[in-house]
Structure 1
Amino acid sequence: MDTETPKSPSLAKTILVVDDDPSMRLICVKTLRAEGFTVLEAEGSSEALQVLATYQEPIDLLLTDLMLPPPGFQLTSTQNPYPRVHGHDVIQRALAIKKTLRVILMSSLSYHERKAYQTITDQVPFLQKPFSVEIMMQLVHEVFASAPLSCADSAVKSTAKQDVRWYD
């Protein structure tokens, strides 16, 4: 009988996977769970921010897509405490909530497209889609071996005008 014992460093680690593509999210979640991680998942930024704010146990790593869907039309009399934002903004908000959080940003956008969106930062570990699960796991282990980012480290240093703003 072939039984796979999880690697002990993984057992104590919790990862939040955020991706609006269900198949990509499933691949990430299944792979990380097979490696012994506790995995939480969210299909968008609003759900991810809610998990980050309310989950009682530590969350050690945020693996998030860059391009998350914009908010849908919603009638509300109060401001949404968990707004829909793009992946880089999720990272900024997450680091404000969880100071020791490690992050990985993933996207299928090319370097030049990300640069056009002003989302290039050398400090945030990046996973280019499509990727193999081996590459993802290698980066996850590298990120866990390094120090967490600060909000300042993850900030996009750009004075260019931001073209898109989402409001809830």
Structure 2
Amino acid sequence: MENQAKQNETILVVDGDIITRTVIADYLRHCGYRVLEANDAHEAQLALQHQAFHVDLILSDVNLPGDMTGFQLSNWIREHQPEIKVLLSAAEERTVKAAGDLCEDGPHLAKPYDPAIVLDHIRRLRGGSAQR
């Protein structure tokens, strides 16, 4: 039953590092989620504005390529699609703390992260029991 519920949920993974993005996206697919991938904030915005895609949660790196950071993408999402939960990740400890402070509805992740820990955070966010 839990796997069927996951199949109805879509996660958008936004990360400029193709290896990191592919590994976590494949892991989440294996766990039963539909997963979209974006290299940068611009691609993420295009996916979010496309009528064919319904995204439930975004997992984004803070340091994205291009002219928009993960923080800025998170703010854009809050303004345009506030129902979408955002989970930010970063390689530096202080950036992780700042991401956690910005992303008030969820936990924060330090990279490199264990895919099982990411899945745990996603489950808590989707279940409404995320703790800070």
TM tier relative to shorter chain: 0.7 to 0.9
Query: Which stretches of structure 1, 4 residues or longer, exceed 6 Å deviation after superposition?
Result: none
The question of whether the paired residues in 2 share the 8 Å contact of 1:91 and 1:103 is answered with: yes
User: How far 1:48 sits from its partner (Å)?
Assistant: 0.7
Residue 114 of structure 2 corresponds to residue 146 of structure 1? no
Alignment of 1:84-163 (within 5 A): 84-111=67-94, 113=95, 121=101, 123=104, 124-146=106-128
In 1, distance between residues paired with 2:15 and 2:86? 14
3-state SS of paired residue (1:141): helix
User: How far 1:119 sits from its partner (Å)?
Assistant: 5.1
In 2, distance between residues paired with 1:6 and 1:31? 16
Sort the Cα spacing of 1:50 and 1:138 in 2 relative to 1 into closer, same or farther, 3 A: same
Amino acid in the other structure paired with 1:141: R
Residue 30 of structure 2 corresponds to residue 34 of structure 1? yes
Q: Which residue is equivalent to 1:66?
A: 62
Structure whose alpha-carbon radius of gyration is higher: 1
Q: Aligned Cα RMSD in Å?
A: 2.3
Structure whose residues are more often helix by fraction = 2
The question of whether the paired residues in 1 share the 8 Å contact of 2:10 and 2:33 is answered with: yes
Identify the match of residue 46 of structure 1 among 42, 46, 50. Answer: 42
**TM-score normalised by structure 1 residue count:** 0.68
User: How far 1:98 sits from its partner (Å)?
Assistant: 1.7
Q: Which residue is equivalent to 1:16?
A: 12
Which stretch has the larger CA shift, 138-147 or 35-44?
138-147
Amino acid in the other structure paired with 1:15: I
The question of whether the paired residues in 2 share the 8 Å contact of 1:62 and 1:103 is answered with: yes
- Which structure 2 residue ranges, 5 or more long, are not aligned? none
**TM-score normalised by structure 2 residue count:** 0.86
Identity %: 26
